[in-house]
Amino acid sequence: MSRAFANHRLLAIALWVVPASAAPPTATAGAPEDGFVVWESNRSGAFRIWRQELAGGAPRQISPDESGRDHCCAKLSPSGQRLVYLSLPGGRRTYSRDAGALHLMDSDGGRDRVLTASARHYGEHRAAVWWGLDELLYLDGGGSTLRRRLSTGKEERLASAGPDGEGWLIAPGGRVATGNTPTFSDWDPRRGVAERPSLGGCQPAFSADGRRAVWSAGAGGPIDAIDLATRESWTVLGKNDPRAPAGRGYLYFPMLAADSTLLAVAGSNGEHDHFRADYDILLIELDPSTLEARGPARLVAPHPAIDRFPDPFRGLPAPDRELARPGDGATAAAGASPAASGRLLLWDRQQAENRAQPGEAITILRPRGLAWFDRLGGMALGGGRFEADPAVGARLSQALQSTHQLTLAIFATPASLQQEGALVALSAGAGRRNVVLRQRRDLIELVLRTSDSSREGAVAEIAKLTSARPIHLALTFSPGRLSSYVDGQPAAVDRPLPGDFFPWRAVPLAVGAEPGDPGAFRGTLSQLSIWNRPLTAAEIAQEASRAVAAKQEIPADRIVVEARLRALSETPSLASISPYREALAVDEIEVVRTLSGSAPGATIRRVRWAILDGVPLATPKPGNIRTVTLEPFAAQPQLQSFYLANTLGEGAVPLWFDLGESAPR
């Protein structure tokens, strides 16, 4: 069973916000190379953070002088604009777990401030991981892993220190954790770290997109890399590799640039002691798709001091107002310009890669109420919703308002044509909505707030449904014009819709419901994309084809029956299933009438949600007749690790999972 399914109710998505006209920095033949590397060095007498431009020139100290303190653990933000570092008691000759102040500083040395007075590293000068530009993971003084949102200062504890006091840093994407011992262990937000055996060596560091990691796999090398999804590993640079400068082949302290085109290490002439040996910083070009080394390593600012733990950046640092650098895995893989895509948000099922590219912010959607991931990784909505962190909606609103243009595309399957509710809502309620895509029985409607509409927004019909089947829906807007597409084909092109996004405000993003609306979309949503430009008809056709191809449905028997509830299992308490926050329960139902498929008998045992997101759900009443849609419980791999309450006793009949109920009649 895929670990992406196992008892996991956090949804990773990629979110990046860039002007549609922005372009990534590139090196021009014969022109100075943009970028720099930072590292810790005692060349001034105490360990400070230093910076060297890739184009050349003299290195310079960027962290301030601070009596009796050493500075270490510099980690650049994915944009290259900022970095964090630790200030620890100075003069030590071993790696200790002393706590010190965690600083946030501009990468050129400006705007230095203390984020927290008590932080530490995991054992060898790795202290923080950036999850995008606004979220930072760091270790507090006790070794617990905290996630801090820089824009608000809000913190959340993600993990405790291990039994040996080792702290855990967690990769972007939130699935893999490691300390100084390179275990690359599984991390679950509820169950914590499930430690794996060590691969040997030390100093693991994650790539900015969370897909890979590098580490020193032996004494003085090699520097190895690992694909965190497949756990395939390979050597990037060997010990005493011929590509290293002469006398600098004893390698440690690897770190990848945000775009994975550079690897920084430190090399010595066979000396090991990390507090006494003459290490110098090396940079080597990488193929970002394979992390294979290209050409010889270059020596950066050699000096008979201890230069260690470098972090490189290639390109020009992005200003703070840009929440991320351009990037789109789908279009970039096809050779298109990432900047031209204008894609702000992409989600393609839970078990899909949904990777964030370098510089993008990672965030999560949280299921609330009767909402879960289905057996195919789609967002299953039985009357609940998926909520994004408030900052996500704010960023989307800002990026869309900056261009006054929009493309919204979804791939969804409604449960029926009798329901009403929002599929996607960038809204704080009827009087404070930006955009809502909703179902109104057999109609799909867009509600869009513009400078010419009321506060509730202008309503436009997008599609008329003829059946509850999977459907790809897309709409584009630029001031004055709205176009809609169904299954990749134009439905209505260039319809007049006056106004722009001038009145938009920062509002939340949700899937399955709109705040304040009693209605709720029931069904599944298995693809969601938002761009800050109107896509062409050809691009939308390609998106629809991609969504259908990605569906890859696994056949499962499905039945729809009218059923009377006969007996219920006793619902467990939240305390009795701790530390779990979800539970399923087994009931017995009598089949009154079969509406679709083939019922296996007159009596069925069905599995329903009893507790979701730490909240007990309403207990159904025996005797009521409901229309229920069921699939074999054995065909639901995403449910197998959840707590299952069955106080009815073991029975010979198979279990069926309830995909959602209509109201009792």
Domain boundaries, the chain: 24-314, 337-551, 559-661
Of 407, 405, 345, 354, nearest to 378 by C-alpha is 354
Backbone angles phi, psi at 407, to 5 degrees: -130, 130
Helix (H) or strand (E) holding 222: none
Backbone angles phi, psi at 57, to 5 degrees: 90, 180
CA angle at 659 for the pair 653 and 660, rounded to the nearest 5°: 120
In this structure, are residues 330 and 550 in contact, taking their beta carbons and an 8 Å threshold? no
Four-CA torsion 624, 629, 631, 636, nearest 10 degrees: -90
In this structure, are residues 37 and 308 in contact, taking their beta carbons and an 8 Å threshold? no
* Measured distance CA(64)–CA(62) in Å, rounded: 6
* Measured distance CA(176)–CA(194) in Å, rounded: 9
Of 593, 440, 449, 602, nearest to 520 by C-alpha is 440
In this structure, are residues 268 and 244 in contact, taking their beta carbons and an 8 Å threshold? no
* Tokens (6 digits) for 597: 């498929």
What pLDDT, on a 0 to 100 scale, did the predictor assign at position 366? 80
Q: Give the burial class of 652: count Cβ atoms within 10 A of its Cβ; 0-12 exposed, 13-18 middle, 19 or more buried.
A: exposed
What pLDDT, on a 0 to 100 scale, did the predictor assign at position 32? 54
Instruction: Give the residues of the chain that fall short of pLDDT 50.
Output: 1-10, 12, 16-31, 319-340, 351-363, 662-665
Strands 603-612 and 292-300: unpaired
What pLDDT, on a 0 to 100 scale, did the predictor assign at position 377? 80
**pTM score, two decimals?**
0.51
Instruction: Considering only CA atoms, give the Rg of the chain.
Output: 27
What pLDDT, on a 0 to 100 scale, did the predictor assign at position 338? 32
Fold of 559-661: OB fold (Dihydrolipoamide Acetyltransferase, E2P) (2.40.50)
What pLDDT, on a 0 to 100 scale, did the predictor assign at position 46? 96
What pLDDT, on a 0 to 100 scale, did the predictor assign at position 615? 86
In this structure, are residues 36 and 43 in contact, taking their beta carbons and an 8 Å threshold? no
Coil, strand or helix at 621:
coil
Backbone angles phi, psi at 557, to 5 degrees: -65, 140
Q: Give the burial class of 489: count Cβ atoms within 10 A of its Cβ; 0-12 exposed, 13-18 middle, 19 or more buried.
A: exposed
For the sheet containing 169-170, what is the strand order?
A: 169-170, 176-178, 185-188, 192-194
The CA–CA distances, whole Å, from 166 to 89, 97, 157, 178, 245 equal 19, 9, 16, 9, 34
* Measured distance CA(422)–CA(428) in Å, rounded: 12
Helix (H) or strand (E) holding 526: strand 522-531
The stretches of 342-434 forming alpha helices (DSSP H) are 390-403
Q: Do domains 24-314 and 337-551 have the same CATH topology?
A: no
* Tokens (6 digits) for 663: 């109201």
* Measured distance CA(584)–CA(7) in Å, rounded: 12
* Measured distance CA(335)–CA(196) in Å, rounded: 37
Q: For domain 24-314, give the CATH superfamily.
A: TolB, C-terminal domain (2.120.10.30)
Q: Which CATH class is domain 337-551?
A: mainly beta
* Measured distance CA(562)–CA(344) in Å, rounded: 43
- What is the distance, to the nearest Å, from the Cα of residue 466 to the centroid of all Cα atoms in its chain? 35
Of 418, 404, 391, 546, nearest to 474 by C-alpha is 546
* Measured distance CA(287)–CA(93) in Å, rounded: 37
The residues near 242 (Cβ < 8 Å, ≥ 6 apart) are none
User: Dihedral sign, CA of 8, 76, 310, 292?
Assistant: positive
What pLDDT, on a 0 to 100 scale, did the predictor assign at position 26? 35
* Measured distance CA(333)–CA(338) in Å, rounded: 9
What pLDDT, on a 0 to 100 scale, did the predictor assign at position 533? 92
In this structure, are residues 333 and 341 in contact, taking their beta carbons and an 8 Å threshold? no
In this structure, are residues 446 and 425 in contact, taking their beta carbons and an 8 Å threshold? no
User: At 12, which amino acid appears?
Assistant: A
Strands 292-300 and 480-486: unpaired
Of 258, 250, 260, nearest to 280 by C-alpha is 250
* Measured distance CA(345)–CA(16) in Å, rounded: 7
* Tokens (6 digits) for 82: 């900022």
* Measured distance CA(405)–CA(344) in Å, rounded: 12
Of 636, 635, 633, 637, nearest to 653 by C-alpha is 633
Of 579, 526, 535, 578, nearest to 553 by C-alpha is 526
* Measured distance CA(352)–CA(550) in Å, rounded: 9
In this structure, are residues 320 and 81 in contact, taking their beta carbons and an 8 Å threshold? yes
| Strands in 315-383 per DSSP E | 343-347, 361-368, 371-373, 379-382
In this structure, are residues 344 and 590 in contact, taking their beta carbons and an 8 Å threshold? no
What pLDDT, on a 0 to 100 scale, did the predictor assign at position 146? 96
Backbone angles phi, psi at 295, to 5 degrees: 75, -175
User: At 124, which amino acid appears?
Assistant: E
* Measured distance CA(22)–CA(44) in Å, rounded: 39
